Chain A
Amino acid sequence: MKLLGLNEKDTRFLLIVVALTLFTPIILQPFAEDSGLAQFNAGYPDLMQRFAIFGIFAIGFNILFGLTGYLSFGHAAFLGVGSYSTVWMFKLLNYNVMPGLVLAIITSGIFALLIGYISLRRSGIYFSILTLAFAQMSFNLAYSVLTPLTNGETGLQVYTSDPQILLGEGGLTTTHFFGIPMNLSWQPEVLGRLYTFNFGYYFCAVIAIAAFYLSLRIFRSPFGLMLRAIKTNQTRLNYTGLNSRPYTLAAFVISGMYAGLAGGLLASMDPLAGAERMQWTASGEVVLMTILGGAGTMMGPVLGAGFIKYFENIFSKINSSILHAWFSALPDGLEDFIVAIIYPFVGKGWHLTLGGLFMLVVIFLPGGLVEGGQRIAALVRRMRGGKSGDDADRQSKAASTAAE
C-alpha cells in the first residue's frame, strides 16, 4: 500500500504513528483509577499536549542536527518567538489560534533566517556557540528592554483591556479553533479507567502528524540526501563545486519554523508566554530529547520528547511517602535504606536521573533509544533462531531502515 508519495514501508510506518497518536489517550491510561499505579497514568490532556508539542519541536530540531550534524544550542529562541507571536494575535484579534500559529511560523522563520544566515558562516563548535549567543541575547532582551513587547518577567498574557477586535459580543474567552474550544473534553469511564479525549490534544496531534509526515518527506527527498552529505563530509561536498550553505540555511529555517510552531501551540494550549522559554537550558532540553531518542532517526526525537516529558511529569511527583508505601513490605531498616538510596533520583531530583541517563546514552548508545531497541531486537532474534549472528544483524538492519 502506498500513500501520499511514500513507499510501502514508510506508509506502514506513518500509519502506525497515526494510530499510536490517535489512541494515545487510551494507551497512556493503562491503570485503573483506584489502583496504586494510577499515578503512572499519563493520559491527561496537559501532558498529552506536551508530548505532541515537544514532539514537533524535537522533529524540527532533528531536521537540522540529525541530518546536517550542526548542533544548535539556541533553538529555544524560536520557541519563545513563536509563543510571543501567538499571544500577540490573541491580544489583537481574538482567541482563535489559527492567525497566531500562522504568525508564529512566519516570525520564527524570519528570525531563523537572520540568525541562521550569520551563524552558518561557521561550523562545529563555533556554530554551537554562535547560536547559543544569539539565543541568550534574545532571552536577555526579552527580559529587559523588550518589556513593551514581551511584558518582561511577568510574561505576556491577555488582559481584558486588550483590543481583541474580532472578539465581538459574547465571544469565546478561551483559546479555540474556529469556535471549538481547546479545553473541550469527553471523559468516558470504562472498566474503572477514566479516559480523556481532549480537543486540544487532538488539534496538536493532527499538526504533529502533519509535521512528522513533512519531515519524513524531507528525509526521503533529494534535499534530505544533500543534507546527509553535508553531515558525512562537507569539505568533499564543497570540492565538487557545490555551495552547501543554501541547503544548511534551508534546514535551519525549516527547523526554526518547527520550533516556532511548537511555541505557538504551547501558547495556544495556555495563553501565556514567558522569557524563560528562550533560556539556553530550554535549548539544552531539546538537544537532550533528540539525542536520548536517537538523532538522525525518524522516531527517535519523538520518543525522546515523550520520554523526557513523561518522566518530568510523572517521576517528579514521587515523594518519600509514596516510596515508603511501595517498600512497606520490607523490614523497617531495609525499607528506610532503600528509600534513602532511591529518593535522590526521583521527585525533585529527577534531573539527576535524566543527566545520568543522558551521559550513559551518549557514551554507550550514540544512536539513542532507537539504537537500543534495535540492539535488543537483534539480540532476541539471535537468541531465538539458529541463524548465525551476522545474518540476524543484517535482518535487523533491514527491518530498522524504516525507522531511520
Chain B
Amino acid sequence: MDAILLQILNGLDKGSAYALIALGLTLIFGTLGVVNFAHGAIFMIGAFTAVTLSKILSFSFVTLSETEKNFLGNPLEVKTPYVVHWFGESAGLGIIDWAVPLAILFSIPIMLLVGFIMERGLIKHFYHRPHADQILVTFGLAIVLQEIIKAFFGANPIPTGAPEAFRGSFDFGVWIGYAENAIIYPYWRLVYFAFAALVIGAVFSFLQFTTFGMVVRAGMADRETVGLLGINIDKRFTIMFGVAAAVAGLAGVMYAPINSPNYHMGMDFLVLSFVVVVVGGMGSLPGAVLAGFLLGILESFASMNLFKTILPGIDQIIIYLVAIAILLTRPRGLLGRKGVMEE
C-alpha cells in the first residue's frame, strides 16, 4: 500500500507540470482554435524568469575587507549583494533565498505581456490558415525563443535552488499513519503540487464564477453568436491567451528548483503535453488536468521495478502507448466533447 502511495506522490510533480502546460494549451486551442507549438517555450521562459530574478537579486558590489587577508597578504575582496546592503543581513539573505517564490509575482505580468505580444503580433494572422501552418509557425517561434534564451544564458542547465526551508525531504508517511521512513518525499514537490492545484483552481473559478469567464465560455461554445451579440470576443480571447501563457509560465517558475532550467526543457515538455491534451480531449479543460495527473502518475508507476522486470523499457514509452490506444479507440479523448476535432 505504501509503495503504491509513494508512486502516486512521485507522479504528482510531473503530473502537475503536465496538467498546467496542457491546461494552457487547451485554453488556447479551445478559445482561438490554434495549435500552439510554442507553448513549451513559454514554460521555459517562465523557468528563466526565476533564474533571472535570482541572478538580479544576487548582484553584488565588491569591497575590500579591513580585517581579513587572502593568501597573498592582500586585503580580501568581499562580495556583498545589494539587497543585503539595503535591507540588512537577515532580510537581504532571506530575499535571495526566496528568489523562486518571489519570481511568481514578477512572472505574471511578464508572461501576460509575452502572451499578448505573441497573440497580437503573430498568431492573430493564423486563425484562418490550416492547422499545419499554425503548427509550423509556432514551431518556428519556439526555435527562435529557445535560441534567444540560449544566447543569453548559455547551453548549460542553471541550478536554481528552492528556499532553504523547503530543501531536502521529509517523512510524509508518518503524517498519515505509516511506519517511519516508508514514504520519504521532497518538500518542494509537495509545494509544487499545492501550487499547481491552486493555479488550476484559480483558472477554473475565474472561468466559472466571473462574468468575463462566462463570456469566454460562451465564446468557446459558439464564437460567432457571441460576436453577433455585440461582445468583443476577440479581445477577451487575446486576454485568455495571456492567461494561458501565464499559467505555463508559472508552471515553469516553480519547476526551476526541481530540474535546473536549460534552454530545451520547453521542447521536452511540449511533446508530452500535446500527448496529454490529446488523451484528455482537445478543447476540454478538465480533461487536460485529469490526463496530466493520470499520465504523470502512470509514468511513475511504470518506473517501478515490478513492472520494469516484466516489460523492460515500459517506463519510457507508457505515455505514448496510452496516447496511441486512446487516439485509436476514443479519438475525442477522455473528456472531449463529441464532434470536436474527431477526425
Chain A residues with CB under 8 Å of chain B are 69, 71, 118, 121-126, 128-130, 132-134, 136-137, 140-141, 143-146, 280-281, 284, 287, 291, 344, 349, 351-352, 354-356, 358-359, 362-363, 366
Contacts and interface: CB of A to CB of B under 8 A. Distances in A.
Given A69-B132, A144-B316, A121 B137 contact: no
Interface string B305-343: 000000011001100110110011001000000000101
Interface of B: 35, 122, 125, 131-133, 135-137, 139-144, 146-148, 150-151, 267, 271, 274-275, 278, 282, 312-313, 316-317, 320-321, 323-324, 327-328, 331, 341, 343
Contacts of A144: 312-313, 316
Given A123-B343, A133-B324, A355-B147, 7 more contacts: A126-B341, A129-B323, A130-B327, A132-B274, A133-B320, A351-B147, A358-B136
8 contacts: A69-B132, A71-B135, A121-B328, A129-B278, A133-B324, A137-B320, A146-B313, A363-B125
Contact of B140 (A141, A145, A359): A359
Contacts of B35: 125
B61 to A, nearest CB: 26
A301 to B, nearest CB: 15
Interface of B, helix, strand, loop or mixed by DSSP: helix
Contacts of B331: 122, 126
Contacts of A125: 35, 131, 135, 282, 341
A344 B151 contact: yes
A362 B130 CA distance: 12
A141 B132 CA distance: 28
Contacts of B146: 351, 355
A126 B271 contact: no
Contact of A137 (B282, B317, B328): B317
Nearest to A132: B271
Nearest to A140: B316
B143 A351 contact: yes
Nearest to A70: B132
A244 B275 CA distance: 26
A274 to B, nearest CB: 17
A349 B136 contact: no
Contact of B324 (A69, A134, A141): A134
Contact of A362 (B136, B274, B282): B136
A354 B313 contact: no
The 10 closest A-B pairs by CB, nearest first: A355-B143, A145-B313, A140-B316, A359-B140, A352-B147, A355-B144, A133-B320, A358-B140, A145-B312, A362-B137
Contacts of A122: 327-328, 331, 343
A307 to B, nearest CB: 15
A359 B324 CA distance: 30
Nearest to A235: B343
Contacts of A137: 316-317, 320-321
A132 B151 CA distance: 28
Given A118-B324, A137-B317, A359 B135 contact: no
B152 to A, nearest CB: 9
A355 B324 CA distance: 30
A233 to B, nearest CB: 13
A146 B316 CA distance: 12
A363 B151 CA distance: 24
Nearest to A126: B327
Contacts of A280: 271
B270 to A, nearest CB: 9
Given A137-B321, A362-B133, A352 B328 contact: no
A362 B140 contact: yes
Nearest to B322: A133
Contacts of B140: 355-356, 358-359, 362
A226 B135 CA distance: 25
Contacts of B313: 140-141, 144-146
Contacts of B275: 129, 133
B125 to A, nearest CB: 7
Nearest to A71: B132
A358 B137 CA distance: 8
A354 B131 contact: no
A126 B343 contact: yes
A291 B130 CA distance: 14
Contact of A287 (B136, B141, B274): B136
Nearest to A143: B316
Contacts of A69: 132
B324 A352 contact: no
A140 B137 contact: no
Contacts of A71: 132, 135-136
B135 A128 contact: yes
Given A129-B278, A145-B313, A355-B140, A124 B343 contact: yes
A141 B125 contact: no
A315 to B, nearest CB: 13
Given A144-B316, A281-B267, A355-B144, A124 B324 contact: no
A269 B282 CA distance: 44
Nearest to A360: B140
A158 to B, nearest CB: 25
B343 A133 contact: no
A65 to B, nearest CB: 8
Nearest to B282: A125
Contacts of A351: 143, 146-147
A136 B320 contact: yes
Nearest to A355: B143
B41 to A, nearest CB: 10
Contact of A356 (B144, B151, B320, B343): B144
Given A124-B341, A124-B343, A141 B327 contact: no
